[in-house]
């Protein structure tokens, strides 16, 4: 995978919008399953960035939204002396983590989608 790219899923936004109309237990299941997919990248990224700044690496969080799953830094800026620090985290940790774990992410996403489909078939 090239630097700066993402793993894209067609029609995920439409699916997430439809899920927002489902009951609470179904919405929770979808968020939990997709969060597990993002956690793969979060854990690898934290491991890669820990050698640079372990405190900052501990601030990575997986977020599930209607537009998809992302891994973000949740810690606030402390000094503001490094305006490129977010880009540094992306270049040295998160994008390489996605590159390394791409196959595992795709497999986990497929498994999560199967679990979600089974849930909606039985609801």
Which pLDDT tens digit goes with each residue over 12-62? Answer: 888 888 888 889 999 999 999 999 999 999 999 999 999 999 999 999 999
Listed residue (22, 26, 31, 109) closest to 64, CA to CA: 31
- Tell me the per-residue pLDDT of 69-111, one tens digit each, with 9 for 90 and over: 999 999 877 767 778 888 889 999 999 999 999 999 999 999 9
Residues 6+ apart with CB under 8 A from 82: 88
First to last CA, the chain: 37
Q: Which three-class secondary structure string do you get for the chain?
A: CCCCCCCCCCCHHHHHHHHCCCCHHHHHHHHHHHHHHHHHHHHHHHHHHCCCCHHHHCCEEEEEECCEEEEEECCCCCCCCCCCHHHHHHHHHHHHHHHHCHHHHHHHHHHHHHHHHHHHHHC
pTM value is 0.84
Half-sphere exposure of 35 (CA within 13 A, CB side): 12
Where in the chain are the domains?
12-122
- Phi and psi at 62, nearest 5°, equal -90, 130
């Amino acid at each position: 995978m090239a630097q700066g790219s993402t793993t894209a899923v067609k029609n995920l936004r439409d699916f997430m919008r439809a899920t927002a109309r489902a009951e609470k237990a179904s919405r929770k299941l979808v968020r939990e399953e997709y969060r597990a997919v993002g956690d793969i990248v979060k854990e690898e990224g934290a491991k890669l960035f820990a050698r640079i700044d372990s405190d900052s690496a501990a601030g990575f969080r997986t977020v599930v939204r209607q537009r998809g799953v992302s891994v973000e830094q949740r810690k606030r800026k402390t000094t503001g002396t490094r305006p490129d620090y977010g880009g540094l985290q992306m270049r040295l940790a998160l994008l390489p983590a996605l590159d390394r774990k791409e196959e595992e992410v795709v497999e986990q996403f497929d498994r999560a989608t199967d679990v979600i489909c089974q849930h909606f078939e039985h609801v």
